[in-house]
Amino acid sequence: MAAVDPAGGNVVSRSDAESDVAAVPEAMGRERPVVTGVRPSVDGGRYPAKASVGEPVVVTADIFSDGHDELACVLFFRPGDEERWTSTPMAALGNDVWGAQFEVDRLGQHHFLIRAAVDPFATWRRDLCARAEAGQALDVELLVGAAMVAEAAARAKGPDAETLQARADGLRVAAAEACAGDPGRGLELAASPELTAAMERWPNLCTSVSSPVYSVVADPRRARFSAWYEMFPRSASPDPSRPGTLADVEARLPYVAGLGFDTLYLPPIHPIGTTNRKGRDGSSVCEAGDPGSPWAIGSAAGGHMAIHPDLGSFDDFDRLVRTAGEMGIDVALDLAFNCSPDHPWVVEHPEWFRHLPDGTIRYAENPPKRYEDVFPLDFSTTHWRSLWASLRDVVLFWIGHGVRVFRVDNPHTKPLRFWEWLIPSVKAEHPDVCFLSEAFTRPRVMEHLAKVGFTQSYTYFTWRNEKWELESYLRELVDTGVADYFRPNFWPNTPDILHETLQRGGRGVFVARLVLAATLSSSFGIYGPAFELTERVPRFEGSEEYLHSEKYEVRHWDLDRPGTLAPVLSAVNAARHAHPSLQQNRTLRFHHVEHDRLIAYSKTAPGDVIVVVASLDATQRHEGMLHLDLDQLGVDPERPYELHDLLDGARYRWRGGSNFVALDPERPAHLFHLMAPGV
**Cα separation of 22 and 28, whole Å?**
11
Q: What are phi and psi of 136, to 5 degrees?
A: -85, 160
- Nearest of 39, 54, 41 to residue 107 by alpha carbon: 54
Which among 342, 438, 532, 645 is annotated as catalytic?
Answer: 438
**Cα separation of 512 and 567, whole Å?**
14
**Cα separation of 414 and 379, whole Å?**
7
**Cα separation of 524 and 515, whole Å?**
10
**Cα separation of 603 and 609, whole Å?**
6
Q: What is the largest CA-CA distance in the chain?
A: 108
- Nearest of 335, 327, 375 to residue 354 by alpha carbon: 375
**Cα separation of 653 and 675, whole Å?**
10
Q: Residue 177 is inside which H or E element, if any?
A: helix 159-179
Judge contact between 12 and 18, C-beta under 8 A. Answer: no
664 is catalytic: no
Which among 409, 550, 608, 645 is annotated as catalytic?
Answer: 409
**Cα separation of 493 and 462, whole Å?**
7
Judge contact between 67 and 123, C-beta under 8 A. Answer: no
- Nearest of 246, 255, 239, 241 to residue 529 by alpha carbon: 255
**Cα separation of 341 and 344, whole Å?**
9
Q: Residue 370 is inside which H or E element, if any?
A: strand 369-371
Q: How far is CA 560 from the centre of its chain?
A: 36
Handedness of CA 506, 508, 512, 517 (dihedral sign): positive
438 is catalytic: yes
- Nearest of 109, 260, 221, 261 to residue 584 by alpha carbon: 221
- Nearest of 540, 527, 535, 531 to residue 494 by alpha carbon: 527
Q: Which residues contact 157 (CB under 8 A, 6 or more apart)?
A: none
Q: Where in the sequence numbering do the catalytic residues fall?
A: 409, 438
